[in-house]
Amino acid sequence: MLTKFETKSNRLWDYRMGTLIDRFEEHEGPVRGVHFHPTQPLFVSGGDDYKIKVWNYKTRRCLFTLLGHLDYIRTVQFHHESPWIVSASDDQTLRLWNWQSRTCVAVLTGHNHYVMCAQFHPREDLVASASLDQTVRIWDISALRKKGSRPGGGPGDDALRLPPVNAELFGGGDAAVKYVLEGHDRGVNWASFHPTLPLVVSGADDRQIKLWRMNDTRAWEVDTLRGHVNNVSSVIFHARQDLIVSDSEDKSLRVWDLSKRHDRFWILAAHPSVNLLAAGHDSGMLVFKLERERPAFAAHGRSVYYVKDKYVREYGLDTQRDVPLCALRRNPAAAYNQGPRALLYNASEHAVLVQTDVDGGSYELYALPRDGKADAGAEPRRGGGVRDSQGEVTKRLPAPLAGADNLFPAAAPGQVLVRAEDRVALYDVTRRATLAEVACAGVKYVAWSEDGAHLALLSKHAVTLVRGRDLVETATLHETLRVKSACWDAAGQVLVYATLAHLKYALPGGDGGTLRTLRAPVYLARVAGGVAHCLDREAKPRAVRVDLSECRFKLALAARQYDAVLGMIRSGALCGQAIIAYLQEKGYPEVALHFVRDERIRFNLAVECGNVEVALRSAQELGDAGDLTHSYDRLAFLYLVTGAHDKLAKMLKIAEHRGDAMRALEDGGQLALAYLLALRTGDEESAARLRAELDSNEEDEDSTNASVARAVEEFAAHDLETAKPLPPGPPTILLQEGNWPLLTVSKGFFEALATKDATGATGRLAEETNAQDDEPMEALDVAGTAWDEELALSGDEGAEFGDAEEAVDRHDSGGGGWDLDEDLELPVSPTAGAASAAGAPAFAAPAPGAPPEHVWQTRCALAGEQFAAGGFEAGCRLLTRQLGIVEFGPLRALALDAATGSGAYVPALPGTPALPLALQRGWTPEGGEPAAPPGAGEPGAAGGVAAARGKFSEALRLVEGILHAIPLLVVDSRKEVDHVRELLDVARDYQVAVRCELRRRELRDDPARAAELAAYFTHCPLQRVHLALSLRSAMSAFFKLKNYGTCATFARRLLDLQPDEKMAGQARQVLAACEKNPSDAVPLNYDPRNPFDLCSLTWTPIYRGNKYAEDPYTRARFQPDCAGQISPVGGLSKIGLEASGLVVSHTQIR
């Protein structure tokens, strides 16, 4: 920020840090006007010595002085495009200067009093001036631009042109008055253009602000803003909002809403119970409140200190006593709605610090009474620094964050949280060091756990949980309603926070939920014993009951405290689909089984967790077995794939009795066989329907039933008396004992704990089993032999098929027989070894070991190794954290190649599948790493050759391939890491250079812009041969543009490279021609003497010292407004995202 002073100096400030950078003192009187150049490191100043000086603030010197005014100079301003300066003076004139040729190009006369202000229009060829003659004049300077664009009318010719006679007295003919705005009653001090609309605003000594509108033919007054009580000194439009900002000699600065100036208000209404007002106007309504309703309070231990009715009060949470401690000092500058903003409590001093926003902000320290009598508050103080209890500054520290605007208490003594616009830092005051930072925008409040292990950062619509010691973010929860307050429970594991309508909770792991709804917002002070102590908007203490059972259940489950989980389940305090869905999501289906009563859900959960017994009971309760629901097609398929020939014979008898064999074939998709059966049985109706369906399938090329109807008819005409039934094919799994084989599954800890605590129930079951053992063995024999009986369809001539069907249902409903010998655990004697060999139980397969890919994913810390191991999600997370990569599409093929290349397949025996084999490097008994992904090539090889031959598209493809391959590289040594980084830098520079040249070739119709890009191309760090080619291209473009001064610099640079004789001869000829007329005909945004980086999104230079946003992967620099976009350098990372850096070797981690 540049300021002008009456002490003959200009001062340059860093407004963020509030520090003075430099002074510029050459004027011989007060300085009244200063202005920065929009693109170059220049500023202009004008003062009471009648002089206009142009400065370079980087070299810290005055470049030249413009003389011509005859009285004090009020304002000066650079033009946003042309090399012009406009100045206003008390000599009643405006002057336009060409600062490149250092001459006055026009004198604008017409005012008859001091000219207080002059400004260029941001887009058009207009100038606005304000004068004490009570007028605002709009000047048209388009003729001046046309004169400068004529052949031979460049800026360099102004120095050779003689000024017209009496131009000082009567003004030149290059500028004319377009409008004269009259309406102020006294002298006008300021006039400004709107950045986008045809509006002008002016402020004058009549204490009024006037708004003017203009078109091509006239200008007229639109509105008058009244409110200032003294002369209006300056007034401007806001750059991005519909606001007008003005300042005045009445010691006030006012902000005017431009969009609401024409609305008439018609009605007011007050909410009956809430502190809200509503007002209706022409274009809508407003809902607002007159005062801040959040009470200033602080909680400590079992007490809450808060401000109410101008008193600091203490509320005991145990005793429920509310005691006033001391009265606040009355501030006469405080308005009705400006109560205390915050209150902080010091336990060691038993004092409170009250912060207010009155009169720019202040704070007061109050010592609370220990003996019933309060000390008077200290005088309100302002300013930064570390102060003692007497208010004296003990030390001053620089802000650890740029733009720091607020402080919050920290958990440890001597530390403080510093908030900036987009981040929060933990700062140690004693060591003067920043301990940790976290990116979090718009933090309004913080909440520490009692042990300081956890911290919650509250924004307007978000809650961010971080670790207290290092500010590492653990979770973020987003809300649609505003977050009002938060506090941790006594154990420091559950954060309870309040929104406008709900009390909610959050756990450090990121889980959250709703505790209850609220009728009115509350501000939480403490949560303990199932009670949330809080204050409402009237500063009344309240106690709200909350049930934290769900929180404790989730915490116990995360900590694997299964005994506590089991106790909560048995208490019945938790229920609902939300808990079941949470358990399934977290991988605890065996726990969810205890909450579910619906048998179908129990069956699915039991299958998921491998609990076959529960799944069997649920299936029996559901009654969905195929033989119970008469799903004969499902039964036939099951018996066919399991090779149950006896069951298939029963199904055949049932089909023959029901007469629906044709329907079974039709349902199974065997239309040809169904048609054949219909022909053989004489079912003409079904045969006609099936023939029509077969004919319709002839149009389908993929149908297996196409063109078979005639073949079926020919086959049906043959004699089939001697035909034999076709036996079914070999089964997929041949069951010898009528049941599926089971692996030995060990019970989980939770299930074992539940079984251990169910001893009483087990005893009762044993008694019932003993009672059943007293039944005669004949009953068991009958039940056992029932499996071998064939289905009797016609025991009686009049028997119904339903009886036989019920018999089949009874026989098959058990699903697996009695399994009389499955659960016996008899000791094996040595003598019975041979006898028991034949009846030994089935082999229980051992638990398989972890596959190599899984071991790799748990051990590998490099992104390339994660992709090679198949851990694509983990690899993507690593690339995002290390390099800020968010666009993974270009890496898809490389990641798949890495995963495929880390394995091989070894041929096995004929008829068996090949054996997969993991390819490892650095093998050890504990395991090795996956095979390294393929490497990247040298950009200076293929890419450089393509660039030298002019094949820029091919060079761009090759270089981008290298940029895509580097994140997945794996190297072994530090030297190779340095080589990879060097490779990345070279690939980045060549990618930017090639894209710049391709962009230049697209601008055939804009030679000026094409010349700028050619100049930028020469500043890319390329190899010597490529740099020579770029310099020759730029030299040619600037020579054709008649920018001979800049063209000469390219020729000299080209000769310094010592090119071949042909190129050097051409450069010498161009240099000789340019030195005869070292001027530039077209002004360009290019300064060869000022180092810069090239933004490859906007294709504009970023001069040293200016702000920039950086690509976290390639470290390419961009303009600040490009932050958040995908970087075009590789197309992988997001500009401005923070990242740790490239990691391609284990040596960088050790």
Mean pLDDT of 307-313: 86
Tokens of 249: 């000699």
| Of 2-11, 464-473, 816-825, the least confident | 816-825
Instruction: Output the average pLDDT for the chain.
Output: 77
pLDDT interval class at 922 (50, 70, 90): low
| Of 66-70, 576-580, 771-775, 950-954, the least confident | 771-775
Which of 813, 921, 809, 908 has its CA nearest to residue 862? 921
What pLDDT does residue 5 have?
Answer: 62
- Report how far residue 603's alpha carbon sits from residue 617's, in angstroms, rounded to the nearest whole number: 8
Strand partners, 497: 486, 504
pLDDT interval class at 626 (50, 70, 90): low
- Report how far residue 1046's alpha carbon sits from residue 44's, in angstroms, rounded to the nearest whole number: 24
pLDDT tens digit sequence for 493-542:
899 999 988 999 999 888 888 888 988 889 999 998 889 999 888 888 99
CA distances from 44 to 31, 86, 507, 651 (A): 11, 10, 58, 102
| Contact status, residue 1114 vs residue 984, Cβ threshold 8 Å | yes
What pLDDT does residue 558 have?
Answer: 81
- Report how far residue 317's alpha carbon sits from residue 986's, in angstroms, rounded to the nearest whole number: 66
Tokens of 876: 């993507």
What pLDDT does residue 513 have?
Answer: 87
SS3 1072: helix
| Strand 219-226 relative to strand 232-237, pairing | unpaired
What pLDDT does residue 73 have?
Answer: 94
Which of 222, 140, 242, 236 has its CA nearest to residue 191? 236
Tokens of 591: 């726990």
Which of 897, 874, 1038 has its CA nearest to residue 965? 897
What pLDDT does residue 4 have?
Answer: 65
CA distances from 2 to 11, 55, 85, 402 (A): 6, 12, 17, 19
What number of other Cβ atoms are within 10 A of residue 859's Cβ? 14
pLDDT at 772 over 50: no
| Contact status, residue 911 vs residue 988, Cβ threshold 8 Å | no
Share of the chain above pLDDT 70, in %: 73
- Report how far residue 533's alpha carbon sits from residue 545's, in angstroms, rounded to the nearest whole number: 9
Angle value at C-alpha 395, between 389 and 396, nearest 5 degrees: 120
- Report how far residue 13's alpha carbon sits from residue 15's, in angstroms, rounded to the nearest whole number: 6
pLDDT tens digit sequence for 1075-1092:
888 888 888 888 888 888
Strand partners, 495: 488, 506
Tokens of 739: 């049941």
Mean pLDDT of 233-251: 89
Task: State the number of CA atoms in the 13 A half-sphere of 583 facing the CB.
Answer: 25
Q: Taking every pair of C-alpha atoms in the chain, what is the biggest distance, in angstroms?
A: 139
Mean pLDDT of 913-935: 68
996 or 713, greater pLDDT? 996
Residue boundaries of the structural domains of the chain:
2-182, 266-292, 297-378+398-543, 575-622, 632-716, 939-1002+1087-1148
What number of other Cβ atoms are within 10 A of residue 346's Cβ? 16
Which of 935, 942, 972 has its CA nearest to residue 957? 942
CATH fold match for the domains 2-182 and 297-378+398-543: yes
What pLDDT does residue 1109 have?
Answer: 92
Query: Under CATH, which number does the domain 2-182 receive?
Result: 2.130.10.10
CA distances from 189 to 135, 198, 203, 224, 253 (A): 10, 20, 6, 16, 15
- Report how far residue 198's alpha carbon sits from residue 122's, in angstroms, rounded to the nearest whole number: 11
- Report how far residue 348's alpha carbon sits from residue 58's, in angstroms, rounded to the nearest whole number: 51
- Report how far residue 166's alpha carbon sits from residue 88's, in angstroms, rounded to the nearest whole number: 19
pLDDT tens digit sequence for 788-842:
333 333 333 333 334 434 433 444 444 443 333 334 333 443 333 433 333 444 4
What number of other Cβ atoms are within 10 A of residue 1094's Cβ? 23
Angle value at C-alpha 173, between 168 and 178, nearest 5 degrees: 110
Sequence-separated (6 or more) residues with CB below 8 Å from residue 3: 10, 11, 13, 34
| C-beta contacts of 628-635 below 8 A and 24+ residues apart | 628/809, 628/813, 630/805, 632/660, 632/664, 633/664, 633/667, 633/668
Sequence-separated (6 or more) residues with CB below 8 Å from residue 839: none
Mean pLDDT of 967-984: 88
Q: Which CATH architecture has domain 297-378+398-543?
A: 7 Propeller (2.130)
SS3 639: helix
pLDDT interval class at 663 (50, 70, 90): low
| Contact status, residue 33 vs residue 45, Cβ threshold 8 Å | yes
What pLDDT does residue 78 have?
Answer: 94
- Report how far residue 940's alpha carbon sits from residue 944's, in angstroms, rounded to the nearest whole number: 4
SS3 280: strand
The backbone region for 808, taken as left when phi is positive above 0, alpha when psi lies in -120 to 50, beta otherwise, is alpha
CA distances from 521 to 445, 502, 537 (A): 16, 8, 7
Mean pLDDT of 77-96: 94
Mean pLDDT of 461-490: 91
pLDDT at 328 over 90: no
pLDDT interval class at 718 (50, 70, 90): low
What number of other Cβ atoms are within 10 A of residue 320's Cβ? 10
pLDDT interval class at 926 (50, 70, 90): low
36 or 722, greater pLDDT? 36
- Report how far residue 202's alpha carbon sits from residue 222's, in angstroms, rounded to the nearest whole number: 12
pLDDT at 296 over 80: yes
What pLDDT does residue 811 have?
Answer: 40
Highest mean pLDDT among 562-566, 578-582, 1079-1083: 1079-1083
Strand order in the sheet with 342-346: 342-346, 351-356, 362-367
Which of 541, 502, 537, 532 has its CA nearest to residue 518? 502
Share of the chain above pLDDT 90, in %: 19
Tokens of 110: 């017409």
pLDDT tens digit sequence for 873-892:
888 888 888 889 999 888 88
What pLDDT does residue 826 have?
Answer: 35
| Of 15-19, 354-358, 453-457, the least confident | 15-19
pLDDT tens digit sequence for 250-287:
988 888 887 766 677 788 888 887 778 888 887 778 78
pLDDT at 366 over 90: no
CA distances from 305 to 334, 351, 523, 563, 996 (A): 22, 10, 13, 40, 63
* pTM listed for this prediction: 0.44
- Report how far residue 828's alpha carbon sits from residue 836's, in angstroms, rounded to the nearest whole number: 8
| Contact status, residue 310 vs residue 328, Cβ threshold 8 Å | yes
pLDDT at 68 over 90: yes
Which of 448, 467, 468 has its CA nearest to residue 458? 448
The backbone region for 375, taken as left when phi is positive above 0, alpha when psi lies in -120 to 50, beta otherwise, is beta
CA distances from 1038 to 672, 1010, 1048 (A): 83, 10, 9
pLDDT interval class at 338 (50, 70, 90): low
pLDDT at 746 over 60: no
Radius of gyration of the chain (CA): 44
- Report how far residue 391's alpha carbon sits from residue 385's, in angstroms, rounded to the nearest whole number: 10
What pLDDT does residue 99 have?
Answer: 92
DSSP annotation string for 682-748: T-HHHHHHHHHHHHHGGG-TT-TTTT-HHHHHHHHTS--TT--PPPPPPPSS--SSSS------PPP
- Report how far residue 784's alpha carbon sits from residue 610's, in angstroms, rounded to the nearest whole number: 29
| C-beta contacts of 379-386 below 8 A and 24+ residues apart | 380/329, 380/331, 380/356, 386/429
| Contact status, residue 1127 vs residue 1135, Cβ threshold 8 Å | yes
